[in-house]
Amino acid sequence: MQMPGHIDPVPVPRAAVPRADGRLDLVGLSRPQIREALLAAGLDERQAKLRAKQLWHWIYNRGVTDFALMTDIAKAQQPWLAERFVIGRPEVVEAQVSTDGTRKWLLRSDDGQDYEMVFIPDADRGTLCVSSQVGCTLNCRFCHTGTMRLVRNLTAGEIVGQVMLARDGLGEWPSQPEGRLLTNIVMMGMGEPLYNFDNVRDALKIVMDGDGLALSKRRITLSTSGVVPKMAQAGEEIGVNLAVSLHAVTKDVRDEIVPLNRKYGIEELLQACADYPGANNARRITFEYVMLKGKNDSDDDARELVRLIRKYKLPAKVNLIPFNPWPGAPYECSDPERIRSFSNIIFEAGISAPVRTPRGRDIDAACGQLKTAAEKKSRAELDRQAEEKLAALG
């Protein structure tokens, strides 16, 4: 397991694995990239420009995956496109629906890597939690994904593909700003988004494009554990809401549960929050704070959190998250009374501190749990098959 240290633990980006059939997946490509792909395939400049505009609309606005359904493209050219390109979706390995309406998908890439996404419906919104990496390089001790080794970054297409797959499942094509169930996106799934900056940026630009998936940047939140050098760049080049996985207010505790703190400490992180472009009272920074029994949940911790927010004059709110246990977790969830006391101290200081309602616990909704459960089932299935073969051999 990589540890934050002298060198940023950023993986060398792996090149996209070519499809076995040689076709290029258009999902995740911008308009100029689609045009370049068409030029490389043999279309002239005028045709490539026109077809790129049409393909963009059909892919990102209408959600179409079959060239034969693109009615404004000549029928003679539809097979030509299908021979060279594909409009893909992640493979769904497993899909679960909780009793509270939460949906979770275990997805698989073309090169056989598994990752997850979760849809959380509420009365006034529907939030899709999107992954940015397969595994994670930051071994935060309370996070189940932190127990997994980092395999690789997800491509822009794999990130956008999660949103498109959710739209498929919810029947929300064509894109429209009103009346849809999927209203918000949070980059809070597997991985650290700012260690996959370029792909996350490119994917979110497609998601925010008014002629494409058309989600406002005000309805998108990017969560980071505190990759300080990339935070200002994220504000300038992406411009979405910022959430910070804080989880502790003292060096010793945060060093333990969020090891990245050993590289970028609390004071440096909070200064980066104060400098984040666009942060104001209408677009507050969210501090995520998981409640761990006897570790970070005292009244003194709450008062120190208030002091730090005031010191840096941060337009902030605090999301208090009851810890969602997973097998082998080294922590327990704080008692409800302790969480209420912690929340009240912050509220009395004039800072919003709602307690997040646990969702989807009956479907392994803690990030990374479904992937681990599927791997265990796979190993069990392999063991069963091996036993059957041995039995057959006598």
Please list the active-site residues: 116, 367
Beta bridge partners, 290, equal 321
Nearest to 138 by CA among 149, 127, 128: 149
Nearest to 27 by CA among 150, 135, 152, 167: 167
**Which residues have a Cβ under 8 Å from the Cβ of 143 and sit 6 or more positions away?**
136, 367, 368
DSSP structure class, residue 355: B
Q: Are 158 and 109 in contact (CB under 8 A)?
A: yes
Six token digits for residue 248: 């502790």
- Helix-strand-coil percent breakdown of the chain, rounded to 5? 40, 15, 45
Three-class HEC string of 291-325: EECCCCCCHHHHHHHHHHHHHCCCCEEEEEEECCC
Sign of the alpha-carbon dihedral angle for 237, 121, 188, 228:
positive
Q: Which amino acid is at 180?
A: R
Give the 3-state secondary structure of residue 40.
helix
Give the 3-state secondary structure of residue 110.
coil
Separation of alpha carbons 243 and 139, rounded Å = 18
